[in-house]
Structure 1
Amino acid sequence: MAYHSTTTSIKNKVIPLEELHLSREVRVRINQLIEEFTYKDALNKLEIPVDNKILLYGHTGCGKTATASAIGFALNKKVITINLAGFVSSRLGETAKNLAEIFKKASSDKAIVFIDEFDFIGKLRDYDQVDSGEMKRLVNALIQQIDHLSDDTLLICATNHIEIIDTALLRRFQIRLTYELPSKEQLDTYYDDILSKFPESINTIDRHYGISYAEAKDITFQQIKGKVINLEKQRKHLVFTYGELTSKDYASLISKGTKDVLPGYKLIDLNINPSSQDNKTIQASAKKTRADTDQIEGVVFELSGAELVQTDKREQFNYKRVLETTTSGKEVWVYVDHNSF
């Protein structure tokens, strides 16, 4: 069955309701829903029903799924998520049975049932291979589960296409909330919120409008990642060499370096051409001993992040790069024997 159950918590990276970017109307109604469940006992004493069937509809990427998770977090309820497109079985009779089992479990756990792609049940009616009688039975089964939903259970459904959902199903929802594309002002607030978490050196981006929050987030992170990677490529790293970096590409860089000493290591011979018995190539390699008497003399020089990546590719079969401290106190990268750690 295509569903999963989660207990909403910080570990699940749920965005709290107060941090979600929602319209004022949606936020007010969701807060009221949460308060109704929080004070449900007081309402029940006066025989005032609690609204526990909610439909979220509108443009994709505008926060419907995040809202369901945030409600679960606020109410400390488990969220049982059903993706209806993947849940509907080719044998529709089994789908109705599976649906009943999920609602039974939700009732037992006083959980939230979140049905995503709720419009899929409307789309199924257009498929030639689906028996219309079976489809009606499935819709009726869903209506029956909704009608018998316990007061402790909350049903949240999400759809991008409310217009194709059976009107008999729509009537069951006490709350219907629209999720529209955010305005320029709302997107600017959203961009500002995301970018405030990053250093000023990388938090300026080309902003796009007329898109969903999800699309804005993707665009933001794509640009931020590009800036971070470029900075890392340019960032200078100190590298300690003791003669193992033999490429001519390093000669001029090493000549500008400073002499230093790496404590706790000794030099060993490394055969960098082990596949050939007749043409062995022996090269020095640093092996960690942690002995106070062992040390290696060498040179500390600079490589950019991009150059360091290329060096890793060149040396990965013979050496392992580790971070160490020289006797002068410099934190340096060192290419050492693979078996040192």
Structure 2
Amino acid sequence: MARGELMKKLLASYGRDDEFRAVAEQIIIEEEQKNNKVLARSLRKTLESGPAPKGPQPMRSLAPLIPFPEAAKDLVERVEPIHTTKDVILSAANTRVFIGLLKEFRRADDIRRRGLPVRSKLLFCGPPGCGKTICAEVFSAELGLPMYAVKLDQLISSYLGETATNLRKIFDFARKQPCVLFLDEFDALARSRDDSSEHNELRRVVNSLLLFIDRLKPQGFLIAATNLDHALDAAIWRRFDEVIWFGKPDRQLVERYLRMKFRNVPTAFDVTSRAREFDCFSYAEIERVCIQAMKAAVIEKRKEVREKDLNTALLDEKRRRAGRSQLATQP
């Protein structure tokens, strides 16, 4: 990374011990690579003689940063994390998988030295609003890696052969830059080649995609997400090291989610007692109900959310769902 960018990162992290030390360590490594060993030793001695970081130290480390490649700048965009683990409710199975992936990433060098592969290509499947994008964001933050989202509208080109060329650019980017590369609406690229409605150009794109995923050995993670797993080409599945399924929450998860959403908001009733009314709702739908209930209290200048606020918001969401269902059944 350019020295100026590292210095800005160092100053921005002041007061956050773990981040500050990680950036300082990166500067020292750069000096060692430039063979400025005296300066590097002096900087390391100064860093190590400073006050010990407060509290338990996270295992995260700052990803090596490189100049952003011109070839990929129009195809990917940086996503700044705004959510934390406190904003995500996962099933026990998914929690176990993500913890395993984090541990594996942190011991990647040891694993590779023993000739074993490290999981780095993940496929997220499930209906809309069930946490795929938020989980990718939180996962990248826990890893200490920047997250880049692929701009699908820029990637898919109307020009013959250009989509495959764009794919090559983003996979080259993922190979060089330690990051989480997030490819949403993956079915738009990886649709089954057996689909008779698709033209030959898309089939060639799928062929290229399979090849690029096969050859990719990222320094971070490739995460692809889809709501239409049934539409994916059969050859796609084995290209991913892990497939993680995101479903609509069960009653217990709904209770946890309601408790989380109202954790800083006074209520005049027990919100978890209403969990059964959210059966078959996605997290996004439940969140929308919670937000509307909170806004009703703000509008009426009340400090607490009342049960009538939740009732009204829930009725609105059910009306919205009913309208969507009617549209889906129309010829």
Q: Under a length normalisation based on structure 1, what TM-score does the superposition of the two structures give?
A: 0.61
Find out whether 1:200 has 2:267 as its counterpart.
yes
**CA–CA separation in structure 2 for the residues paired with 1:42 and 1:82:** 31
Deviations 1:18-66 (A, max 9, x none): 6410111111111111111111011111111101111110121111111
Q: Offset of 1:122 from its aligned partner? A: 4.8
**CA–CA separation in structure 1 for the residues paired with 2:79 and 2:230:** 32
Structure number having the greater helix percentage? 2
Which structure would you say has the larger Rg? 1
1:83, 1:117 within 8 Å by CA — same for their partners in 2? no
Q: Under a length normalisation based on structure 2, what TM-score does the superposition of the two structures give?
A: 0.62
Find out whether 1:37 has 2:105 as its counterpart.
yes
The one of 59, 78, 82 equivalent to 1:13 is: 82
Distance 1:39 1:19, change over 3 A: farther
Find out whether 1:225 has 2:290 as its counterpart.
no
- How do 1:1-341 and structure 2 match up within 5 A? 3-6=75-78, 8=80, 12-16=81-85, 19-82=87-150, 84=152, 87-123=155-191, 128=197, 131-132=199-200, 134-200=201-267, 208-209=277-278, 210-231=280-301
Name the SS of the counterpart of 2:260 in structure 1.
Answer: helix
Name the SS of the counterpart of 2:300 in structure 1.
Answer: helix
Distance 1:197 1:149, change over 3 A: same
Distance 1:218 1:100, change over 3 A: same
1:43, 1:50 within 8 Å by CA — same for their partners in 2? yes
**CA–CA separation in structure 2 for the residues paired with 1:174 and 1:181:** 23
Name the SS of the counterpart of 2:157 in structure 1.
Answer: coil
Q: Offset of 1:106 from its aligned partner? A: 1.9
Q: Offset of 1:203 from its aligned partner? A: 8.3
Q: Please, which runs of 5 or more residues in structure 1 have no aligned partner?
A: 233-341
Q: Offset of 1:223 from its aligned partner? A: 1.2
* Percent of aligned pairs with the same amino acid: 30
2:87, 2:260 within 8 Å by CA — same for their partners in 1? no
The total of aligned residue pairs comes to 227
1:117, 1:160 within 8 Å by CA — same for their partners in 2? yes
1:3, 1:80 within 8 Å by CA — same for their partners in 2? no
Q: Which residue of the partner structure matches residue 35 of structure 2?
A: none
**CA–CA separation in structure 1 for the residues paired with 2:203 and 2:297:** 54
Q: Please, which runs of 5 or more residues in structure 2 have no aligned partner?
A: 1-72, 303-331
Structure number having the greater strand percentage? 1
Q: Offset of 1:201 from its aligned partner? A: 5.3
Distance 1:153 1:212, change over 3 A: same
1:63, 1:179 within 8 Å by CA — same for their partners in 2? yes
